[in-house]
Amino acid sequence: MTVTEPTEPTGPTGPTGSSDLRTRLADVRGVVLDVDGCLILSSQPAGDDGATLPGAVGAVRELRDLGLPVVVFTNASSRPPADIAVSLASLGFPVGPDDVLTPSVVGAETILHRFGDRPALAFGGSGVVQVLRDAGVTVIDPEERDAARRAEVVLVGWDVGFDQKRLQVAAEAVWNGAPLLVTSDAPAFATAGGRTAGLGGFIANGLSYVTGRSYEVLGKPSPAAIDIATRRLGVASSELLVAGDDLSLEVAMARTAGGVGVLVTTGTHSRDDADAATEDRRPDLVVDSLAEATALVRAARTGVTAR
């Protein structure tokens, strides 16, 4: 097993030398796992044609056997969580619909909390619109009459049909005062074919440019995402372990939460990237597979040295 344990100060609580890191791993009470580049690689973010990464299925099972609650959290908003859960379960992962989080889930809870039953203008496929409606959000279709005038909030997700007409409706809603939310503004995702350009962030940045208004990100690593994940797991944010392939998403989420951040080098970022990362994106661990991280968690909880 090849594991990098940074010796410089990397965590919100101070230096994370080997002894301190083992203590922090032993104190983990809940786990957030990325999907693309951590569990699987597919043709599209959280796609239904995924191939499992080595050791990933066994790693998730072992985390559950250790008594740790696990959620998988993808920034992809192209599919509903239930569909993602079916795909992952078909590959052997022990997950169900309630174990899958997406930014649309965060968006639904955020909109209901802040806006109640006031209408939301949503851009995206079933991974956005269906999730919002199933949660009880009043959703306006961009094709509806007076959609821009009626909208109290705008949510942008993975919308492959976003054209000039939709841009105009969204811009008018924002000009009218509707806050602009986006599922994710990550520039790219790890897929089987390499990096795939992020669509939601592209749209949101365009809307921000057109309207002169800023947007709020709901997916990883946002405070809203941390809040939903910790509530779903039933743990404090400092008790989280967040593992994924992206320093700017999963590792940054862990650092913001005060938990343990693990970079898995099977997707977007490498060990060299981790070495060059700024402090707010510096991982506590760099591993070449999720199984390696799981072995370290097991060793920390049982007092046995990982090999």
Q: What pLDDT does residue 306 have?
A: 53
Q: Which of 124, 130, 34, 40 is nearest to 81 (CA)?
A: 130
- Per-residue pLDDT band for 10 (boundaries 50, 70, 90) equals very low
Can you give the three-state secondary structure of 149-169, one letter per residue? HHCCEEEECCCCCCCHHHHHH
Q: What is the CATH number of domain 3-102+234-302?
A: 3.40.50.1000
pLDDT digits (tens, 9 = 90+) for 24-47: 999 999 999 999 999 999 887 777
pTM for this structure? Answer: 0.87
> What letters, b where the CB count within 10 A reaches 16 and e where it falls short, cover 154-165?
bbbbbbeebeee
Q: What pLDDT does residue 5 have?
A: 43
Neighbouring residues of 115: CB distance < 8 A, sequence distance ≥ 6: 152, 153
Please state the separation of Cα 59 from the chain's center in Å.
Answer: 19
Q: What is the CATH number of domain 103-217?
A: 3.40.50.1000
Query: What does 14-28 look like in DSSP terms, one character per residue?
Result: EE--HHHHHHHHHT-
Does the fold of domain 103-217 match that of domain 3-102+234-302? yes
Q: What pLDDT does residue 302 have?
A: 85
Average pLDDT over residues 56-77: 96
Q: Which two tokens stand for residue 144?
A: 């509806």
- Per-residue pLDDT band for 304 (boundaries 50, 70, 90) equals low
Average pLDDT over residues 84-94: 96
pLDDT digits (tens, 9 = 90+) for 248-259: 999 999 999 999
Element housing 232 (H / E): helix 223-233
Q: What rounded mean pLDDT belongs to the chain?
A: 90
Numbers of helices and strands, H then E, in the chain: 12, 18
Q: Which two tokens stand for residue 228?
A: 């939903």
Average pLDDT over residues 207-234: 96
CB 151 within 8 A of CB 181: no
Domain boundary assignment for the chain: 3-102+234-302, 103-217
Average pLDDT over residues 169-184: 97
pLDDT digits (tens, 9 = 90+) for 101-116: 999 999 999 999 999 9
- Per-residue pLDDT band for 1 (boundaries 50, 70, 90) equals very low
Average pLDDT over residues 45-51: 82
Q: Phi and psi of 284, rounded to 5°?
A: -80, -30
Q: What pLDDT does residue 18 have?
A: 65
CB 205 within 8 A of CB 198: no
Q: What pLDDT does residue 8 have?
A: 36
For the ranges 7-16, 128-137, 172-181, 275-284, the lowest mean pLDDT is seen at 7-16
Q: What pLDDT does residue 169 have?
A: 97
- 304 vs 268, higher pLDDT: 268
- Per-residue pLDDT band for 188 (boundaries 50, 70, 90) equals confident
Q: What pLDDT does residue 305 have?
A: 56
Q: Which two tokens stand for residue 217?
A: 């990100």
CB 179 within 8 A of CB 154: yes
Q: What pLDDT does residue 19 have?
A: 73
Average pLDDT over residues 4-23: 51
- Per-residue pLDDT band for 22 (boundaries 50, 70, 90) equals very high
> What letters, b where the CB count within 10 A reaches 16 and e where it falls short, cover 277-302?
beeebbbbbbbbbbbbbbbbbbbbbe
pLDDT digits (tens, 9 = 90+) for 203-219: 999 999 999 999 999 99
d(CA 17, CA 105): 36
